[in-house]
Structure 1
Amino acid sequence: MTQPKVTLVVSPRERFSYTRASLESIYANTDYPFDLVFVDVCSPESVQTYLKATSQSFKILRTDHYLSPNQARNVGLRYVLDHTDSQYVVFIENDVVVKRGWLTRLVNCAAETNASVVGPLTCIGNPAHQVIHNAGGQCYIKTDFKNGQARRRIKQSAYLTGRAVADVRDQLHRTPCDYVEFHCMLVRTDTFAMTGLLDEGMLATREHIDFCFMVAQTGGEIYNEREAVVTTDTLGLASNKAGLMARFGQLKLPDFQWSDLPYFMLRWSDRWDRASLDHLRQKWNLAEDKYFTKRYAGLGSRRHELLIQPIVQYLTFGKGSPWLEKLLISLERPFNNYWFNRYAQRFEQS
């Protein structure tokens, strides 16, 4: 029996410096045949050099400017739909490492359940595959009434987030759910005939929620295959919690390349975050309730976690300082807006 064809679409999450480790993990630990399309959204020269040296193994689709995650995914998705006969496309971000058997288990789950979407057990941080970030979850729209007015509200809860894999092994089995995340997500390609491409109005956040709503609207089913395991953010919070290193008095973030900073600042800009939340709310006719006000209040939180907080820890010798953190946030936010405007003007003129 012929195996279903699969194409992986690798696209950036927030930076480029883990590209090599991620691709090497995929090729070393994937025992199911696949094609791979790498969407290179203007990566630094060192990454481009590596990609060119290894591109005999995969297709590179390069853009000359930065793209949002859904825009980049659509570049790869269009190629898959137009140039391949793959039954499945797997979106996977460029900071993800995988555990052997991951893709076989995702494909088997889709084939055996007829699911439209399947996500793996997604872990976070170093060491890999030990702490759960996403194991699927519930997410649906509920209508209630306030002052006689109907309100549509998102109700969301995650399964097993923050739990150690070793503590919940009895729960690591295939589970139907309402959503999985784009860190790694297998989608049956014929699903896009009903949903269309990914919504590029979802620039920076909640795009997985939007897409899973679209899939559910078509009657498609979503599963989390917890025996398939990947890990994201191995360069992120877990590394930075170890603190900063000083070399001859020069500030250095562990495993963070400063050449990544321009894309990182755009990717997590207040403007893109806010626009995504506004678009989700308007698209699905949702009330501006606590779900949204909490996220509006948290604009820039990723920048604060990976840039501001480590700097504060360094300057205070690990003690921390709320007032210094607030000060740096107040200085960083205008800079982020300046960078966003500068990039937007350059892109519009190109």
Structure 2
Amino acid sequence: MTGSQVNIIVVPRECFCRAGTSLQSIYENTQYPFSLIYVDGNSPRGIRRWLEREAADKGFKLVRFDRYLAPNEARNIGLQHADAKYVVFVDNDVLVAPGWLENLVACAEETDAWVVAPLYLEGSWEDPRVHMAGGWWRITEEDGKRIFVEEHSSYERRVDDPEVPRSRIQCDLIEFHTVLVRRDVFQKIGPLDERLKSVLEHVDFCMSVVEAGGTIYLEPKSRIMFRKPPRVTLSDLPYFLLRWSDAWGEESMKAFGEKRKVEVGYYQVEWWREYRRLSLLPILWRLERLAGRRAEPLERKLIFPIEEKLNRFLFS
């Protein structure tokens, strides 16, 4: 490592097709000194070779595995190679805006925050919407059961909406698209829970930080762009389907519920199944052109149930 104050740890989120533009964004828009650790889990051959060339050219540490990695596993691997005061986890598909890193570090230094998140955006830089401006989680009692709920603040609002924070605020929920963490936090709370493979890993981490007495901040002067894949390429399909599989999702929900002694709503299942249908877009587009209004019931009664059964067959 270079002795810098920050280790950026890049990990796979759900696909690899945007790894190039994401890494380029980091190097073009980051003036604050950093050393980079890139954890690559079984990326396609072209991406793998490109990463090897970039690592040699730019001098970052490339940690390669010939198998797919769940995000928390990849983050823990990156942590094993970190030596700086701060680690910044970055998904391999995000774009960062100029000033993103120095604003995260400044917030941590000035507030003694354990965790600092940027303003998460989605869409495009020309017309951005808020993906998340911090958030909150609660555990409520209903009929003798502990029910977990979460909310992402300012979701889908325009950046200039008065409800979107303009200055840093304390919150109790962030996501892992990009987040700065004091590295010594993991000496207090332990490594990230690798049983949480696809959902609720960010909530579990935030709960652990709050329970240990730490603080979490949103710093809206730092901005990053979360990007859904416009379509899932053939080479990305195996990892994408595994990442959002019922097997990984249900394992995550079960582990979270047992660990936190809460019940998690079915909305989590509905969310990842709907998101996984991004892989079906080419089929759905053709069906809608051919069937018109009849496409919707065909999707709901035929295509979606078949897809769910096939996913279980492949990954359970």
TM-score band, normalised by shorter chain: over 0.9
With 292-301 and 101-110 compared, the bigger mean Cα shift is at: 292-301
With 169-178 and 331-340 compared, the bigger mean Cα shift is at: 169-178
- The aligned counterpart of 2:74 is 72
Any residues of structure 2 matched to 1:16-165 within 5 Å, and which? Answer: 16-56=16-56, 57=58, 58-80=60-82, 84=83, 86-127=84-125, 130-142=128-140, 144=141, 146=143, 149=144, 151-165=145-159
Q: Which runs of 4+ in 1 moved over 4 A?
A: none
Instruction: Letter of the 1:43 partner, please give it.
Output: S
Instruction: Letter of the 1:307 partner, please give it.
Output: S
Helix, strand or coil at the partner of 2:110: helix
Are the counterparts in 1 of residues 107 and 219 from structure 2 also a CA contact under 8 Å? yes
- The aligned counterpart of 1:196 is 190
Q: CA offset at residue 136 of structure 1?
A: 0.3
Q: CA offset at residue 15 of structure 1?
A: 0.3
Q: CA offset at residue 170 of structure 1?
A: 6.7
Is there any run of 5+ residues in structure 2 with no aligned partner, and where? none
With 209-218 and 164-173 compared, the bigger mean Cα shift is at: 164-173
Helix, strand or coil at the partner of 2:146: strand
Q: CA offset at residue 315 of structure 1?
A: 2.2
- The aligned counterpart of 1:175 is 169
- The aligned counterpart of 1:285 is 261
What is the TM-score with the length of structure 1 in the denominator? 0.84
Do the aligned partners of residues 129 and 226 (structure 1) sit closer, same or farther apart at CA in structure 2, a change above 3 Å counting?
A: farther
Residue 311 in 1 paired to residue 283 in 2?
A: yes
Residues in 1 aligned to 2:303 and 2:157: alpha-carbon distance in whole angstroms: 32
Do the aligned partners of residues 129 and 50 (structure 1) sit closer, same or farther apart at CA in structure 2, a change above 3 Å counting?
A: farther
Residues in 2 aligned to 1:128 and 1:216: alpha-carbon distance in whole angstroms: 36
Helix, strand or coil at the partner of 1:262: helix
Is there any run of 5+ residues in structure 1 with no aligned partner, and where? 240-252, 342-350
Q: CA offset at residue 125 of structure 1?
A: 2.4
Helix, strand or coil at the partner of 1:37: strand
Helix, strand or coil at the partner of 1:61: strand
Q: CA offset at residue 124 of structure 1?
A: 1.1
What is the TM-score with the length of structure 2 in the denominator? 0.92
Helix, strand or coil at the partner of 2:64: strand
With 263-272 and 332-341 compared, the bigger mean Cα shift is at: 332-341
Residues in 2 aligned to 1:128 and 1:276: alpha-carbon distance in whole angstroms: 36
Any residues of structure 2 matched to 1:238-317 within 5 Å, and which? Answer: 239=230, 253=231, 256-286=232-262, 288=263, 291-304=264-277, 306-317=278-289
Q: CA offset at residue 169 of structure 1?
A: 8.1
Residues in 2 aligned to 1:128 and 1:182: alpha-carbon distance in whole angstroms: 24
- The aligned counterpart of 1:11 is 11
Q: 1:137-178, CA deviations, whole angstroms, 9 ceiling, x for partnerless residues?
A: 111333x352xx3x3222322211100113348732101001
Instruction: Letter of the 2:259 partner, please give it.
Output: K
Helix, strand or coil at the partner of 1:176: strand
Correspondent of 1:332 among 265, 289, 307: 307
Are the counterparts in 2 of residues 17 and 257 from structure 1 also a CA contact under 8 Å? yes
Q: 1:221-270, CA deviations, whole angstroms, 9 ceiling, x for partnerless residues?
A: 0001011000011x43xx4xxxxxxxxxxxxx4xx421000111110101
Residues in 2 aligned to 1:35 and 1:285: alpha-carbon distance in whole angstroms: 39
Residues in 2 aligned to 1:138 and 1:129: alpha-carbon distance in whole angstroms: 26
